[in-house]
Amino acid sequence: MKDGQRRGRLFVLSGPSGVGKSTVLARLRRDVPQLWYSVSATTRTPRPGETHGVNYFFVTSDEFERLVADGQMLEHAFFAGNHYGTPQGPVQEHLEAGHDVLLEIDVQGARQVRASPGLGREAVLVFLAPPSFDELARRLIGRGTEDEAATAARLEAARAELAAEPEFDHTLVNTSVEDAASGLVSFLAEPCSPASAG
């Protein structure tokens, strides 16, 4: 980092699958283009319209294991049958360069970020919650991106994820994309807490 340059801040957006994180992020990308959005690696099969290097780095299980073994993942988790992880290098580079960084990850990953030395103290963890469990189930089934078994696995995971909400710094209820995105923008604009300053 250059003298006098502020280090970037790390923001984590988490919450159950189907709650609408990607939709809120698409809005945020439009409204806050200066934020750097991390691209995760996953062993999941691409959905129609998803592009390697844009939505995810789609890797094999062997490649994923190698990335983890080489210490290249900031955090990683096994979620509903697939591996997901945040490549460490680009996040650190952007923070060092003074850019604010946003990770969109599951609850297991958010916990690892919180526990990670150095980063955990400064990270701002935001939980995106559905208006209700029934509404989450309706959205997850309605979007139709997974087969029945995978949808059931995601709903099962969602129950545990919803219970993790108190571990987060902020909660946003996703009643509308506009409100959730503007809530996030307000967290981005908040001054650093005394614990994370400096």
Nearer to ligand 5GP, 53 or 194 (CB): 53
Q: Applying CB under 6 A, does 43 fall inside the site for ligand 5GP? A: no
17 lies in the site for ligand 5GP, by CB under 6 A:
yes
Q: Among 8, 11, 12, 21, which residue interacts with ligand 5GP (rule: CB under 6 A)?
A: 21
Kindly state whether residue 77 participates in binding ligand 5GP, applying the rule CB under 6 A.
yes
CA–CA dist 150, 27 (Å, integer):
27
Q: Which is nearer to ligand 5GP, 102 or 188 (CB)?
A: 102
> 């984590």: which residue's tokens?
12
Asked whether position 40 contacts ligand 5GP by CB under 6 A, the answer is yes
Residue from 142, 136, 178 nearest 26 by CA? 178
**Of 72-80, 121-129, 175-183, 184-192: span binding ligand 5GP (CB under 6 A):** 72-80
Asked whether the beta carbons of 180 and 24 are under 8 A apart, the reply is yes
Residue nearest to ligand 5GP (CB): 109
Residues 82 to 141 in contact with ligand 5GP, rule: CB under 6 A: 84-86, 104-106, 108-109
Q: Which of residues 3 and 148 has its CB atom nearest to ligand 5GP in the complex? A: 148
Task: Report the side by side order of strands in the sheet with 57-58.
Answer: 57-58, 41-42, 82-87, 73-79
- Of the pair 163, 195, the CB lying nearest ligand 5GP is at 163
10 binds ligand 5GP (CB under 6 A): no
Residue 144 or residue 191: which is nearer to ligand 5GP going by CB? Answer: 144
- List residues near ligand 5GP by CB under 6 A: 17, 21, 40, 44, 75, 77, 79, 84-86, 104-106, 108-109
